[in-house]
Amino acid sequence: MPKGQIRKALSGFYYVLDENGERYIQCRGRGVFRNRQISPLVGDFVDYEADNDLEGTITVVHKRKNELVRPPISNIDQAILVFSAKQPDFHPLLLDRFLTAIEQHGIKPVICLTKMDLLKDNEKEKLESFISDYEKIGYEVIPTFKGDPSLQERLMPVLEGKISVLAGQSGVGKSTMLNTILPALELKTDDISKALNRGKHTTRHVELIEVNNGLLADTPGFSSFDFDTIEKEELSGCFPEMAERSNSCKFRECLHLNEPKCAIKAAVEANEIPEYRYKHYLKFLEEIMSRKPRYTND
C-alpha cells in the first residue's frame, strides 16, 4: 500500500505527497471515515490506494502526535508566535494564552517580536524585561523589525527540519515574516501550485511548504485559543516554570490558590516566577473552573 503525507487540503480533496517526494496524488477520504469520525488533516501520514498516477483514495490515517483545530493541521513540531512590540502594543496576557494552549498540545513555542524599531527607549527597556523573563523560562525569543537584514539568517535554523506553523493576531507582521523567507519558498510554492493545477493564494486553505529541510504551514492563520480541553489540574503543567516546581507542593493536585506549603506561591513571593505570569495563570484557572460542563450522549 503506498504511503505519503497530506501537504494540502482544499475543497474536499487531500493532496498527498508520495513517500518518495516525487509527485502529488489528489485523494478523497474513504467513505467510512465519516462514520468513524475520522477527518484527515494536513500533516497526516497516510496510506492510499492509487486509481492512477494522479488520483487516489486515502485508506488509513496514521496516529498523530498532536493536532490543532484552527488551523486544522497535525504532527506539528513548533509554533512561531508572532507578536508586535507596538501597533498593536505587546500583550503579555494574550501571549501567555497562546503559550498555554500550545504547551498543552506538546508543541514547542518560539516567540517572535516584530516592530521593535517603533519603541521609545523607556518602552524598549520594559519590553526587554519581558524578553528576559521568557528567556529565563526557557523560551526562544527572536526580536525583529521591518527590513531586518538578519531575520532570514536567524529564522532559517529555527525552521530547519521542523514542521512549523505561524500564529498571531492580524497586523503583527506575519506577512512581513513570510515575505522575508519567500526567496527560499518561491520556487517550491510555484512547483506545488503547478503540480496541483491551482493558482496561489486564491482561497483560504491549509498547506505545508518545504523550507530548509522542514515544512512551514502556509495557512489563513489563527488568532486566539480557548481552554475547552484543559482541565484545571493540568493548567500549571502548561507553565514550564510551574511544572518544574509543582512536585514540591505539599498536595499532589495543588491548584496553587490557597493551599498550604505551595511551592508555586513561594516562588512568586521570592520573585522566581514573574508575578504577572502567576496572575495570568489564576485568570485562566478561573476561566476553566467557571466553564459549563460538557455533556455527552450515551
What Å distances lie between residue 279 and 9, 159, 282, 287, CA to CA? 40, 32, 5, 12
If you ran DSSP here, which 8-state letter would residue 239 be given? S
- Cβ atoms of residues 67 and 84 within 8 Å: no
- Cβ atoms of residues 165 and 76 within 8 Å: yes
Helices (H), 225-274: 240-243, 263-269
Report pLDDT for 183.
Answer: 57
Report pLDDT for 223.
Answer: 52
Report pLDDT for 202.
Answer: 37
Report pLDDT for 113.
Answer: 95
Report pLDDT for 95.
Answer: 95
Report pLDDT for 203.
Answer: 40
> 3-class DSSP state for residue 67?
strand
Ramachandran assignment for 195, one of left (phi > 0), alpha (psi -120 to 50 degrees), beta (any other): alpha
Grid cell locating 197: 493545477
Report pLDDT for 221.
Answer: 55
166-193 pLDDT tens trace: 887 777 777 777 777 655 444 343 444 4
Grid cell locating 226: 480557548
Catalogue the E-assigned strands of 20-162. 24-29, 45-50, 55-61, 67-68, 73-74, 78-84, 108-114, 140-143
Please list the ranges in the chain whose pLDDT falls under 50. 184-203, 298
230-268 pLDDT tens trace: 999 999 999 999 999 999 999 989 999 999 999 999 999
Report pLDDT for 94.
Answer: 92
